[in-house]
Amino acid sequence: MSALTELGKEIALCQQCEIAKQRTNAVPGEGAEDAEIMFIGEAPGWHEDQQGRPFVGPAGQYLDKLLALINLKRQQVYITNIVKTRPTGNRDPLPVEISNCRKWLEKQIEIIRPKMIVTLGRYSMEMFFPGKSISKIHGTFQKQDNVIYYAMYHPAAALHQQSLRQTIEADMLKIPQLLAQTKEITEAEPETQQLNMFEL
């Protein structure tokens, strides 16, 4: 069994939060174990809880379209959430749920070792860009220990707010160039990686 599958089973057994009692399925995440890019959303919704798979409802269908803009299919990346169980009634995740679930995300990152972590929405952004505002930093990145952290709006926000569609699509389109450019820099100048928070 792959390390991610094993971890998924462990996540499904977790009962640390009250919401575990109400779930149909835990939603650990899915995609390639050797993915270069990891997309991290907020928490499963109704559809995800039913199927045990991340981003399979309307926001997920839009995420698939965004991935297609850069010629990627969901099987080529890894998709997960900061919280692996649906919060009751799709409410926002509680701070205690986010902190209880953090260990699972850390283990997933350790196994996959992605080159790029893309945060989708405010909650996921807050974990990697604490204290920042999404309207200011979307479409920008920060590099740490050879991993690029890149902030995007949540696909559900773009579904509800037409004006964000162009923005989220433009931000998605920056990803291939960013990944390629950073690989070049890493290979060319391994000791001088000071690429903090600038826009492409």
Q: Which is nearer to ligand URA, 119 or 182 (CB)?
A: 119
DSSP state of 54: S
Q: Which is nearer to ligand URA, 86 or 174 (CB)?
A: 86
Q: Which is nearer to ligand URA, 138 or 143 (CB)?
A: 138
Bridge partners of 149, per DSSP, are 117, 142
Which of the stretches 9-17, 48-56, 160-168, 174-182 binds ligand URA when contact is defined by CB under 6 A?
48-56
- The residue count for binding ligand URA (CB under 6 A) is 13
Minimum distance, C-beta of residue 100 to ligand URA, in the bound complex (Å): 17
Q: Which two tokens stand for residue 117?
A: 């972590």
49 interacts with ligand URA by CB under 6 A: no
3 contact partners, CB below 8 Å, separation of at least 6: 33, 111
35 interacts with ligand URA by CB under 6 A: no
Q: Which two tokens stand for residue 60?
A: 């997920």
Q: Which of 43, 101, 117, 158 binds ligand URA (CB under 6 A)?
A: 43
Instruction: Considering only residues 75 through 94, tell me which ones interact with ligand URA, judged by CB under 6 A.
Output: 81
Residues 120-159, one symbol each (x = binds ligand URA by CB under 6 A, - = not), give ------------------------------------x---
3-state secondary structure of 166: helix
Which of the stretches 51-59, 91-99, 100-108, 160-168 binds ligand URA when contact is defined by CB under 6 A?
51-59
28 interacts with ligand URA by CB under 6 A: no
55 interacts with ligand URA by CB under 6 A: yes
Residue, CB closest to ligand URA: 41
Q: Which two tokens stand for residue 182?
A: 């950073």
Instruction: Let me know how many helices (H) and strands (E) the chain has, helices first.
Output: 9, 7
Nearest to 78 by CA among 50, 107, 57, 108: 108
Query: Residues 177, 182, 184, 185: is their CA dihedral positive or negative?
Result: positive
Task: Please check whether residue 84 is in contact with residue 101, taking contact to mean a CB–CB distance below 8 angstroms.
Answer: yes
Nearest 10 degrees: Cα torsion 139, 73, 51, 161: 40
* Chain residues in the site for ligand URA (CB under 6 A): 41-45, 48, 54-55, 57, 59-60, 81, 156
